[in-house]
Chains A and B, each alone.
Chain A
Amino acid sequence: MEATMDGLGSAPVEPISKAKGTGRIADPIFVALLWGSGIFVLILLGLIIAELFQGGLPALQHFGLEFIWTASWNPVTENYGALVMIYGTLFSAVIAVVVALPLSFGIAFFLTEIAPQRLKQPIGVAVQLLAAVPSIIYGMWGFFVIVPLMAAYVQPPLIDTLGQLPLLGLLFQGPPLGSGMLTAGLILAVMILPFITAMFVETLESVPPMLKESAYGVGATTYEVYKNVSVPYGRTAMVGAIMLGLGRALGETMAVTFVIGNATRLSASLFAPGATIASAIANEFPEAQLGSLKLTSLLQLGFILFVISFIVLALSRALVRSRMD
């Protein structure tokens, strides 16, 4: 006791000032690094937008806002417009969402309500691994496996049956090339499926058990509880999940480039080759000379894609987060 008192008496504040010493120099540096990195992330998005806008500005000045709704992409006459690519981007992404949605609803139902505990995790992980497969692998699989199947077994019967109908038949016109909008949409559906499903499962698992049990208590079947209790409860976040899937599909590049056919013509048919903004950039870029009108038109296309993606992703985030905050 005496010794401790002596120790305190001789140098009472030494250890504390020492600790402060390391903090006095290192802490401001450390905090500056934290703030600097945070602010870097914050301005990164703005930098990307500004850079793309500036790069595409000459095209905008040359063609005016008409660029957006001009359906021509002609390197010979140097007349460029974005309409075909915007249409292709939206069309293929919507096909993807329409196909992926029922699958995601089903798989989320299976994972949250049906699957035995033992199967739940491995199947859930396997579905998530679909999201890990690189885009270019989907492209090769689509190009070498799916396109021939579409050309041989899917498109000809559809052209012969649905293609004969008035009006609706317009969707099923043209030669069965195998590639085209529908094929791109189907590949995209597989790619966005894991993202939508994961967010569905997360949302559905946050439904209070009491709500579901009340419904079971009055005699509802599992499906009725899912449809009438769980899904309405998580509705907002689930719409956000769908928007995220849409946003992902809009900007997907490599997989689409392989299977969409890369034609810059406008066509209503699901089987017609087309182009998305991303596929057009990937495909046409190597032929664009530095400083050419084509290059700046491609950059302008990139800017338009960024704006579309930004709106969809921001909306998605607002919907998903609305419940949490």
Chain B
Amino acid sequence: MASLAARRSKDAVVKALSTGFAFLALFLLGWILWTLLARGLPALSFSVFTNVTAPPGQNGGLANAIVGSLIQVGIAMLIGAPIGIFAGTFLAENGKGTKIAAAARFVNDILLSAPSILVGLFIYTLLVVPLGGFSGWAGSLALAILVIPVVVRTTEDMLNLVPVGLREAAFALGAPQWKVVMFITWRAARAGIVTGLLLAIARAAGETAPLLFTSLGNNAWSLDLNSPMASLPVAIYQYAGSPFDDWVALAWAGALIITVGVLVLNVVSRLVLSRGH
């Protein structure tokens, strides 16, 4: 065995290195945020929120992309959140211990990390091709599929934290199951479930790949869910790769908006969770 001095110095070196790595991660986060602020802030103006995307040099904005993102994420949540909460409740309550629940849990874990672009391809072959065109609905459904596993996982985890005694007490009073779940179990796990919903919104809002082949993007103002619909990530993708300076600047503005939104949602969800406990 090496001498004590050698072992101690090795310990010190690894500690210093590990601390350095942790600060490297902080530095990287700071670097990304700094890049976004430095390039996005100068391009951020009122017109970004009020003007529709326009050809280069015509003072365009991102209004249609922002509204399109809000609509598609909103519909994705309206579809995905109930299915996710019900499926998560199934895993934690009725299905607990069954083979079906074990299989569903497995599938959910795979869906949680599966490449999001494949969800886009799936909706493309399932809906876009048969219906003959890209649409806001298709984009919303693709996002809904990404929302579901996030909500399922957090809902199940949070319901598992609710003491069994609480449910038994409610059942003992003669409450039917739907009342026990809705007014006792869900209520007790409220903070955790809301956290899952916020994280799901954050995930859906930042996704680009599944929207490329579903809602496609739209350079005109459109609220029609049956036609192609703009979204912030797709607009950023389109603009960032363009050779026009004002489009690239607009892409940075959009990137700043989306990142701030997503990070705020993440921090808020953590606060909700820590306050709920």
Contacts and interface: CB of A to CB of B under 8 A. Distances in A.
Interface size class of A (residues with CB under 8 A): 35 or more
Contacts of B181: 30
Contact of B119 (A22, A48, A105, A138): A48
Interface in B22-72: 22, 24-26, 28-29, 31-32, 35-36, 39
B119 A129 contact: no
Given A55-B125, A137-B32, A137-B255, A30 B87 contact: no
B115 A251 contact: yes
Nearest to A50: B122
Contact of A140 (B25, B110, B240): B240
Interface in B229-249: 233, 236-237, 240-241
Contacts of A127: 22, 25-26, 29
Contact of B104 (A39, A107, A134, A286): A39
A163 interface: no
Contacts of A109: 14-15, 18
Interface string B107-120: 11111011111110
A76 interface: no
Nearest to B121: A302
B118 A44 contact: no
B137 interface: no
A313 to B, nearest CB: 5
A134 B176 contact: no
Interface in B126-163: 126, 129, 145, 148-149, 152
A310 B111 CA distance: 9
A317 B236 contact: no
Interface of B: 7-8, 10-11, 14-15, 17-22, 24-26, 28-29, 31-32, 35-36, 39, 82-84, 86-87, 89-91, 93-95, 100-101, 103-104, 106-111, 113-119, 121-122, 125-126, 129, 145, 148-149, 152, 174-179, 181, 202, 205-209, 212-213, 233, 236-237, 240-241, 251-252, 255, 258-259, 262-263, 266-267, 270
Interface of A: 15-16, 19-20, 22-24, 26-27, 29-31, 33-42, 44-45, 47-48, 51-52, 54-55, 102-103, 105-107, 109-111, 114-115, 123, 125-130, 132-141, 143-145, 190, 193-194, 197, 221-224, 244, 247-248, 250-254, 258, 278, 281-282, 285-286, 290, 298-299, 302, 305-306, 309-310, 313-314, 317
